[in-house]
């Protein structure tokens, strides 16, 4: 079991990744539950045509999660949903339905207990390993602060577990949202400024991102994913292949 390393930072810096070679595309899988399906994915899909070198693939399922594999098992469903697609990058937002106890092998594990934390962490580790298989870079999108204090406390624990697992991986990247759609302390706020205009950042349920809130989360992701590799970065032997 990885030691929990505390709360994730309010903001995170995306690391450098190799640029997309001219004439090539970067395949990005959008993975997760309704936290990906509602708001975030629609914004990413709407904005991505501005970047010719990105291909986005929908691999999400509302109502899913890691707590109830008997309802939807990501370990078996994800490869089937991908089919022949081999993503270069996976953006994952998941866990909104996981703030609950679960039963395994006839034993009930109460949410938040030490046993629950250890078992949930193992599930996150297994899921991350599945997403990384084939060499994909995984960007784990933090669940945003929630309006309900009780629900927010549960999501905060899930974020801490996810953060600890992601930090232990060499290939995975953590992407914070609390500093983007939350207040100065990273707490829930319903409204905020989006490109100079006050807008609703969250759906009426106080859980999901609105399209405007998703704009703030996606604003750095798409340019980062679409960054081009300059000709100076391409090895000369590769450039010669393209020369007449």
Distance in angstroms (rounded) separating the CA atoms of residues 67 and 182: 26
Report how far apart, in Å, the C-alpha atoms of 15 and of each of 2, 83, 138, 170, 198 are.
Answer: 23, 29, 12, 12, 30
Going by pLDDT thresholds of 50, 70 and 90, the confidence category of residue 214 is very high
pLDDT digits (tens, 9 = 90+) for 77-113: 999 999 999 999 999 999 999 999 998 888 999 999 9
In this structure, is residue 53 part of a structural domain?
A: yes
In this structure, is residue 173 part of a structural domain?
A: yes
In this structure, is residue 89 part of a structural domain?
A: yes
Phi, psi of 139 (to 5 degrees): -110, 110
In this structure, is residue 5 part of a structural domain?
A: no
- Residue 5, pLDDT > 80, answer no
Give the start-end residues of each E strand in the chain. Answer: 26-32, 54-60, 89-93, 102-104, 107-109, 137-141, 172-175, 191-194, 197-200
* Tokens coding 123: 């599930």
In this prediction, residue 7 carries a pLDDT of: 86
pLDDT digits (tens, 9 = 90+) for 122-176: 999 999 999 999 899 999 999 999 999 999 999 999 999 999 999 999 889 999 9
- CATH number at 30 reads 3.40.50.1110
Answer with the residue of higher pLDDT: 23 or 25: 25
In this prediction, residue 4 carries a pLDDT of: 65
CB 161 within 8 A of CB 117: yes
Counted domains in the chain = 1
Q: Can you give the residue range of the structural domain that contains 202? A: 26-226
Distance in angstroms (rounded) separating the CA atoms of residues 16 and 9: 19
In this structure, is residue 234 part of a structural domain?
A: no
Least confident of 18-27, 38-47, 106-115: 18-27
Instruction: Encode burial over 33-51: b for 16+ CB neighbours within 10 A, e otherwise.
Output: bbbbbbbbbebbeebbeeb
Sign of CA dihedral 198, 203, 205, 207: negative
Least confident of 46-55, 115-124, 172-181, 227-236: 227-236
Distance in angstroms (rounded) separating the CA atoms of residues 200 and 221: 21
In this structure, is residue 137 part of a structural domain?
A: yes
Distance in angstroms (rounded) separating the CA atoms of residues 13 and 28: 19
CA dihedral 79, 83, 88, 93 (to 10 degrees): -50
| SS3 of residue 179 by DSSP | helix
Distance in angstroms (rounded) separating the CA atoms of residues 227 and 53: 9
pTM comes to 0.91
Average pLDDT, integer, range 36-50: 95
Q: What are the residues whose beta carbons fall under 8 Å from the beta carbon of 53, sequence distance 6 or more?
A: 20, 24, 25, 26, 226, 228
In this structure, is residue 178 part of a structural domain?
A: yes
Quick one: which H or E segment has residue 216?
helix 211-218
Report how far apart, in Å, the C-alpha atoms of 31 and of each of 103, 116, 222 are.
Answer: 25, 24, 15
Answer with the residue of higher pLDDT: 94 or 22: 94
In this structure, is residue 172 part of a structural domain?
A: yes
């Amino acid at each position: 079991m990885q030691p929990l390393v505390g709360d994730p930072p309010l903001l995170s810096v995306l690391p450098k990744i190799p640029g997309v070679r001219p004439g090539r595309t970067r395949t990005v899988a959008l993975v997760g539950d309704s936290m990906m399906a509602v708001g975030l994915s629609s914004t990413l899909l709407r904005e991505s045509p501005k970047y010719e070198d990105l291909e986005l693939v929908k691999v999400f399922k509302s109502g899913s999660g890691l707590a109830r594999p008997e309802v939807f098992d990501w370990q078996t469903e994800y490869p089937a949903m991908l089919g022949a697609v081999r993503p270069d990058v996976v953006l994952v937002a998941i866990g909104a339905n996981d703030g609950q106890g679960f039963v395994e092998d006839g034993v009930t594990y109460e949410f938040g207990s030490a046993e629950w934390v250890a078992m949930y962490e193992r599930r996150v580790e297994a899921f991350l390993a599945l997403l990384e298989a084939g060499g994909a870079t995984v960007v784990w999108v933090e669940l945003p602060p929630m309006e309900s204090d009780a629900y927010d406390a549960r999501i905060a624990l899930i974020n801490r577990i996810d953060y600890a697992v992601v930090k232990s991986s060499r290939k995975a990247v953590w992407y914070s949202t609390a500093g983007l759609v939350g207040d100065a302390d990273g707490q829930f706020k319903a409204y905020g400024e989006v490109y100079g205009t006050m807008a609703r950042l969250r759906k009426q349920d106080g859980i999901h991102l609105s399209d405007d809130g998703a704009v703030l989360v996606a604003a750095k992701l798409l340019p980062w994913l679409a960054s081009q590799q300059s000709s100076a970065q391409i090895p000369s032997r590769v450039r010669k292949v393209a020369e007449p």
